[in-house]
Structure 1
Amino acid sequence: MAHKTFISYKYSEAQKLRDSIINALGDDATYYKGETSDSPDLTDTTTDNIKRHLTDMMYDTSVTIVIISPNMKQSKWIDWEIEYSLKSITRNDRTSHPNGIVGVIMKYNGGYDWFKYSVINDDGCRAISYKTNLTYNIINKNRFNQNPMKYSCNACKTVNSLTGSYIAFVEQDDFLSNPDKYIENAFDKSENDAAGYNLVKTR
């Protein structure tokens, strides 16, 4: 089932990946509500005008795709867009529900080592970790927040990469090969106001 989506990204380094995501959506790209190469340039407009433009695009969406890129924290808008996506907003007597959110890790210098790495736990299990200093607190606080937590391995307390966190991380190649899978996963977690997760909705 197609869902209305919005892509949050740092324009100067992730525009190409944004376009690749829209292309990968195929026919479902008609449900994409964010910026495109044809969108008006708002660089020199006021902050309030930019926010108004963004909220008009985001309000009716149900899934937000956040591109995790090396310098994303230099963006003035990504964390604000995530915060807006997680809130229940009332407009014209209609209240929106929190969006499902998926983080797509951008391939950089041919791989993902700039952001992810593997560790060996004390019990010998291998797990994937991420350089959380490169992402916003509102993302990090919505990781590993499933309630109740369901462990994939009780010994080392690892969780399922897609369901253990409200904001799952997915590599660019995996996402582009099957965007419906990850969009649907994000949407499913948002159902019933994300009742299965301890959401942090503020930056």
Structure 2
Amino acid sequence: MAHNTFISYKYSEAKDLRNRIVEALGDDGRYYKGETSTSPDLSDRTTEYIREKLKELIYHTSVTIVIISPKMKESNWIDWEIEYSLKEIKRGDRKSSTNGVLGVVMKYNNDYAWLRSTVSKNDGHSLTSTDTTYLYDIISNNRANQNTPKYVCEKCQSIDALEGSYISLIEEDKFFENPNKYINNAFEKSKNIDNYDLKRTK
């Protein structure tokens, strides 16, 4: 099933990945909402003007993809775009639902070590940790926030990578193997929002 999708990203380092994501959506790419090469230039506009344009784009979407890149936190907009995506906004007699939100981790220097490290434990399991200094608080606070966690391993209490967090972080290689799987997963979580301790503000 196709979903109206907004992509939040730092233009200077992630525009190529953004373009690949739009292309990977194929026919569903027609539902993409967000900045394109033909979008009006917002660089010389006031903050409020830009904010209103972004609100209009996000309001009509149901899934937000956030590209997780090394300098993402230098953006003036990404955390605000996530916050707006998580809100329920009323306009007239219509109210938008909270978007599903998915993080796609950008490969940098040919791997993901800039953000994630994996260690093998004595019991044979591996543990992946994420360097949250690269993430906005609104992303970190919506990770591992399932009200009743589903563990993939009860012994080491490793949470499910997709279901355990409202905002899952998926490496770009995995994402491109099956984009609809991850977009649909984010959308389904937005329809079961009571399963998560959701933090809506940055």
State the SS of the aligned residue for 2:20.
helix
Question: More deviation in 78-87 or 112-121?
Answer: 112-121
User: Partner letter of residue 201 of structure 1?
Assistant: R
Tell me whether 169-178 or 116-125 shows the greater mean CA deviation: 116-125
C-alpha contact 1:61 1:99 (8 A) present in aligned 2:
yes
How does the TM-score come out when normalised to structure 1?
0.96
Secondary structure at 1:176 match in 2: helix
Query: Identity over aligned residues, as a percent?
Result: 57
Match runs of 1:107-122 below 5 Å: 107-121=107-121
More deviation in 119-128 or 34-43? 119-128
Partner of 2:196: 197
How far apart are the structure 2 equivalents of 1:124 and 1:20? Answer: 36
Q: How far 1:89 moved relative to its partner?
A: 0.4
| SS of 2:33 mapped into structure 1 | coil
Paired residues in the alignment total 202
CA–CA distance in structure 2, aligned partners of residues 114 and 95 of structure 1: 39
**1:12 is matched with which residue?**
12
Letter in 1 for 2:190: S
- TM-superposed CA distance for 1:125, in Å, is 2.7
Q: Which runs of 5+ in 1 are unaligned?
A: none
Pairing of 1:138-153 with structure 2 (within 5 A): 138-153=138-153
What is the rounded CA distance, in whole Å, between the counterparts of 1:98 and 1:19 in structure 2?
Answer: 25
Which runs of 5 or more structure 2 residues have no equivalent in the other structure?
none
Q: Which amino acid aligns with 2:149?
A: M
Distance 2:121 2:34 in 1: 40
TM-score normalized with structure 2 length: 0.97
Contact 1:145 1:166 in 2 (8 A): yes
Query: Structure 1 residue 121: deviation in Å?
Result: 4.8
Q: After superposition, what is the alpha-carbon deviation per residue over 1:150-179, rounded to whole angstroms, capped at 9, x for unaligned? A: 111111110110110000011111112211
Aligned amino acid, residue 155 of structure 1? K
Moved over 3 A (4+): 120-124
1:16-53: CA deviation from partner (whole Å, max 9, x where unpaired): 00000000000000111111111111011000000000
Displacement of 1:77 in angstroms is: 0.3
Secondary structure in structure 2 of the residue aligned to 1:112: coil
Distance 2:92 2:107 in 1: 40
Give distance in 2, aligned partners of 1:88 and 1:202: 12
Amino acid corresponding to residue 8 of structure 1 in structure 2 = S
- CA–CA distance in structure 2, aligned partners of residues 197 and 9 of structure 1: 25
Offset, 1:147: 1.2
Cα deviations by residue, 1:58-110 (Å, 9 ceiling, x for unpaired): 00100000000000000000000000000100012111111001100001111
Tell me by how many angstroms 1:122 deviates. 6.9
Structure 1 match to 2:82? 82
CA contact (8 A) 1:121 1:156 kept: no
Q: Please say if residues 65 and 104 of structure 1, whose CA atoms lie closer than 8 Å, have aligned partners that are also in contact.
A: yes
Instruction: Indicate how the Cα distance of structure 1 residues 122 and 90 shifts in structure 2: closer, same or farther if over 3 A, else same.
Output: farther
Q: Aligned equivalents of 1:198 and 1:52: distance in 2?
A: 28
Letter in structure 2 aligned against 1:14: A
**Partners in 2 of 1:42 and 1:2 — Cα distance?**
28
Contact 1:106 1:112 in 2 (8 A): yes
| Aligned pairs for 1:54-73 within 5 A | 54-73=54-73
